[in-house]
Amino acid sequence: MGAERGLAGVEPAPSPEAAGPLVALRGVRKAFSSGTVALERLNLDVRDGEFLSLLGPSGCGKSTVLRLIAGLTSKTEGSIQWRGGQPSLGFVFQEPTLAPWSDVFANVWLPLRLRGVSRADAKVRIEEALAQVGLKGFEKAYPRELSGGMKMRVSIARALVMRPALLLLDEPFAALDEITRSRLNDDLLDLKAAFGATVVFVTHSVYESVYLSTRIAVMAARPGRIVADIPVDPSLARNEDFRLGAYYAERCRETSAALQLAMGGAEPLDPRHEVRRG
């Protein structure tokens, strides 16, 4: 894990805008069978190479957006368009969601195993993924023998072993203590730099979203929609200096204000996702 964490190294390919977003959600509505409308007129672009955070209060539909992108739930209205078809996906849930009856090796092997990759053929990739999340030597451990942070690392390794083009993370660090969470934030940035995947990260932490992201989409609740789109400079290295700097403080203030506005019932932005600041 490197000390200098920049997001510049994973900038999009030369002309991503010309090629269009990796996935575009347009006018998406999601209503559950209970009648609850989770999302309404939601427009969102996910661009190549970016670290996009979906930030919003509890119950605003952040996880639903992620599940829609992953194809785990269906939209009621609107469209979800992939540029060139759906790429390989990795998904990390809020809970580690490990198979308790399998050891660490078998848990990370799971996505490959489901695609018919044998244990022997998967071994190198699994060991590589485990080394990248700092769990080398824990192959034979069972989930219940691991700490919360280690379980989440296994979950991330399992998502990365498929070398996904798009990594979806649903509040993965919400249940962890502050120290573990901070360490995993840095590790996640290192992994993103190493793998070059596009990331969509659900969180309700303003500070976490500003530290990790190249862009923050703020959501309002009832029904869920995007109300602000805040860019964060990817060229600045993410480290303690970044956390203590004026730029970080300003982005946090700005994001926090957008979140406050969202919780007060802001109107949705137009489909171009203009940045609403302050």
User: Closest CB to other proteins among 81 and 88?
Assistant: 88
H or E element that contains 203? strand 198-203
Rounded least distance, CB 141 to other proteins, Å: 10
Rounded least distance, CB 128 to other proteins, Å: 19
User: Closest CB to other proteins among 72 and 275?
Assistant: 72
User: Closest CB to other proteins among 51 and 91?
Assistant: 91
Rounded least distance, CB 187 to other proteins, Å: 21
Distance from C-alpha of 83 to C-alpha of 268, rounded to nearest angstrom: 25
Rounded least distance, CB 95 to other proteins, Å: 6
Positions touching other proteins (CB under 8 A) are: 67, 70-72, 89, 91, 93, 95, 97, 99-102, 110-111, 113-115, 142-144, 162
Residue-by-residue DSSP string for 30-94: EE-TTS-EEEEEEEEEE-TT-EEEEE--TTSSHHHHHHHHHTSS--SEEEEEETTS---EEEE-S
Distance from C-alpha of 129 to C-alpha of 241, rounded to nearest angstrom: 29
User: Closest CB to other proteins among 158 and 276?
Assistant: 158
Contact by Cβ (8 Å): 114, 68: no
